[in-house]
Amino acid sequence: MADYTNKLIDFMYVDRPKVSSLLAQFLSEGLVVEQNASTQIEHTKTTGLEISSKIAGLLGISASHERASADQSSESVRKNPEWAQAKALVQYVSDAHDQNCGKSLVGSLKILSGKLQIFDLTPFRQIVDNERLMSAIKSALFNSTDLFGEKIKQIDAAIEALDSSAVGKAKSKELPARKKELNNLKAEEVKKAEIYKELTVEGISQFVRHSPFSIVAILETDDDKYWFSLKQESLLHDQGDTLLKFGYSIDGQWSVACIVDGEKADLPDFSTVGDENSEDAVWATIVRPFVYGGRMAVGRPSNSRSLMPLVVFRSLGEILR
């Protein structure tokens, strides 16, 4: 069982509302958000005598004599308990992790440690607003047959087979008609693919432009990969400084106190808009390619699990006392 009581922790990220919502369940009266303490202070005040030595001599005292007077005052101290609470949650998640016997089931509390990568999507929002860059991206995408082009590849292969095959005189008359049929079919598929590509680019652009998050991260442990998003306001390290130091891969071993909330999932083939036999609503059939396309561009990779980060931290060793 990991004991963080005497560990000095460097917090990179603390989701304060989520941490508070979990810890508040231990206290029926609610979680303390601020502590005020009042103390009484009694001190001695000394003052020198501002008189000449002659007068002081007449009075039978020394000019350097100081007299003391007792005085009392009070002061109010305001304490911020949130960092102690964040550390308390880390300890609780660690204990819950041990009780789960290390199983990473969906809905389980875990402490996961490994190599951390952080990606800031803010520049992508600037890209999608740049018409020249978007035009270049569309041109590159339209010239590629990797997406939405499987049927086109099959038609090209069929045309090539017709050209290279040895046909008898009896079948040679059918060859031009067959090639024309295949070329017409290819033209239809190319037109359809261009429409899908245009819709996909526009859909992803809108997704990036209006996405509710701008920073995503990947934690690679010894056993698995986990994708998660980070709230800008919950980051305690300066993101700009971090990116300048490390790029996207952060040096060192980092830990995440989290809730595992997603399994690996293969992305379906969205080269077609929908299945003809599907009973999904029309709007679901239309929206699906945009959802999958947006997720593929900036969301969770299909080979990664997902988690909800509560605290991202690293241990700085024992607290020196």
Average model confidence (pLDDT) for the chain? 75
Given a cut of 80, whether residue 117 has pLDDT beyond it is yes
Specify the higher pLDDT residue, 78 or 67: 78
Q: What is the pLDDT of residue 176?
A: 77
Query: Tokens representing 105?
Result: 């089931």
Is residue 276 over pLDDT 60? no
Distances, alpha carbon 250 to alpha carbons 81, 123, 254, 314, in Å: 28, 19, 9, 12
Nearest to 299 by CA among 265, 270, 257, 274: 265
Look at residues 162, 210, 209, 212 and name the one whose alpha carbon lies nearest to residue 182.
Answer: 162
Beta pairing, strands 66-79 & 215-220: unpaired
Higher pLDDT, 48 or 251: 251
What would the pLDDT profile of 243-274 be if each residue is shown by its tens digit?
667 777 889 999 999 999 988 875 555 444 44
CB 275 within 8 Å of CB 284 = no
Read off the pTM.
Answer: 0.60
Find the helix or strand (DSSP H, E) in which 154 lies.
helix 150-164
Q: What pLDDT shows up at residue 205? A: 72
User: Averaging pLDDT over each range in 27-36, 80-89, 159-168, which range is the top one?
Assistant: 80-89
